[in-house]
Amino acid sequence: MSTLNIAIAGSSGRMGRALLEALAQAPDMRLATALERKNSPFVGKDAGELFGAPCGVSIGEDMATLKGCHALIDFTRPEATLDHLKICRELGVNIVIGTTGFTPEQKGLIADAGREIGVVFAPNMSVGVNLSLKLLDMAARVLNEGYDIEIVEAHHRHKVDAPSGTALRMGEVVANALGRNLAECAVYGREGVTGERSPSTIGFATVRGGDIVGDHTVLFAGTGERIEITHKASSRATFALGALRAARFLSQRGKGLYDMQDVLGLR
């Protein structure tokens, strides 16, 4: 297999640095382009210096450098990702999107791009999280009566969206398995005299603090027992490795809209 040329957006961010480090250790891949926003203080610096191993690739802001890349990996912000997606469509470059916080309309734009390029779009690239999604589907179908469902997630103080994209995806998987619409049954906060809990709801609780990488627990609380499916990330490396796996997948599959369930063969 030939070496894959990979581009990374938001290369100076927390996930960008994790991706650069993971990419440096991938023998079948090479960093072709490291991108940052215009006027970033990191533009012009060696991308490898961000994790202590100079690589000879300078961080730039010119999206035209994507030409010839096999895939762009993007963990930035929704508006930036959509700008990058437009350029990828124009240049015929596949894209792996780990950005969260998109509106339904923005998700529609991502889906539409799959008609022309390969897109892996997933709120969480971790292999373990995506296995958890499969387990949640199984659990919800078995525990479909007499169990209250609550989702608790925790992230670092810098995360800007809540609940996390992963928590929402977990809720969607559970709701779909139960034949419910998450938009109609989700409860995102409780305060004061709320009355008894409706058995048809799926509750969400959000924690923000410190440097928590990402913790997610789905609780099925029944009479006399509780079943909990939990995933805890201790390093962003797990998301970076999953994203590289997604880029490899796209090099084999071509255009279309995929998620990590496709990448991992869990469908």
Q: Which active-site residues does the annotation give? A: 155, 159
d(CA 168, CA 151): 9
d(CA 132, CA 84): 30
SS (H, E, C) 205-249: EEEECCCCCEEEEEEEECCCCEEEEEEEECCCHHHHHHHHHHHHH
Phi, psi at 168, each rounded to 5°:
-65, -40
Which of 178, 164, 267 is closest to 217 using CA atoms?
164
Give residue for tokens 């995933």: 231
Packing angle, helices 127-142 and 165-178, rounded to 10 = 30
For residues 56 and 24, is the Cβ–Cβ distance under 8 A?
A: no
Packing angle, helices 14-24 and 237-253, rounded to 10 = 60
Paired residues of 117 in beta bridges: none
Measured from the Cβ of residue 162, the count of other Cβ atoms closer than 10 Å reads: 17
d(CA 153, CA 192): 22
Q: List all residues 6 or more positions away from 260 whose beta carbon is below 8 Å from its beta carbon.
A: 120, 122, 124, 125, 127, 129, 130, 242, 246
